[in-house]
Amino acid sequence: MVYGIIKQHSGYISVVSEPEVGTTFRVYLPLAEQAAEKESPRFETEIIKGNNETILIAEDDATLRNLYSSMLRDNGYRAIEAFNGADAVLKFTNHRDDTSLIIMDGIMPKKNGKQAYDEILAIKPTIKTIFLSGYAEDIMTKEGLLVPEIIFVQKPVSPADLLKKIKEMLSSSNM
């Protein structure tokens, strides 16, 4: 995730590691031409609740997977958890008729998000999917993990923003 953020801001990172000495990370970012303007914090006042739709969460990071699942359940959705790409395909196969949306991490063990997505599309071509990644969108595209019809959301994402995107996807008829 850090690498993606640094690359997105035209920077780079170097790592020097020596046994029994330690590791040093150096982050290099370009200078800004002018100081950033201070923004007021924005607060979402309205969270649109779900209507008991089932969402498959495919995320290899257990902490994030549990967080997303809890957030969904707290907001009127049912959540099915998958811990890698292969598990996502299996869980989707078992729940294809109930699943309304998939939230898929782009980089996972066994099968990456795109590989799992392609297999799931063969089962149900109309399934709506949101890809999440800590890598920048351009990096994901260069790696062939994103194509134009895939909806991409950059991690970290606020719960309010993710819930808004979920509701948008579930409400759309052509995605």
Asked if residue 31 has pLDDT above 70, the reply is yes
Confidence band (pLDDT; 50, 70, 90) for 135? low
Read off the tokens for 3.
Answer: 């690498």
| Structural domain boundaries in the chain | 1-29, 54-171
Distance CA 119, CA 86 (A): 10
Does the pTM surpass 0.85? The reply is no
Asked if residue 86 has pLDDT above 80, the reply is yes
Alpha helices in 51-136 (DSSP H): 62-74, 85-94, 113-123
Give the model's pLDDT for residue 14. Answer: 86
Give the model's pLDDT for residue 45. Answer: 52
Asked whether 79 and 57 are in contact (CB, 8 A), the reply is yes
Give the model's pLDDT for residue 39. Answer: 67
Give the model's pLDDT for residue 175. Answer: 44
Average pLDDT of the segment spanning 78-96: 97
Average pLDDT of the segment spanning 33-56: 74
Give the model's pLDDT for residue 165. Answer: 92
Per-residue pLDDT of 51-84, as tens digits, reads: 999 999 999 999 999 999 999 999 999 999 999 9
Mean residue pLDDT of the chain comes to 85
Per-residue pLDDT of 138-165, as tens digits, reads: 655 566 666 556 788 888 888 889 999 9
CA-derived radius of gyration, the chain = 18
54-171 is a CATH 3.90.180.10 domain: no
Asked whether 154 and 133 are in contact (CB, 8 A), the reply is yes
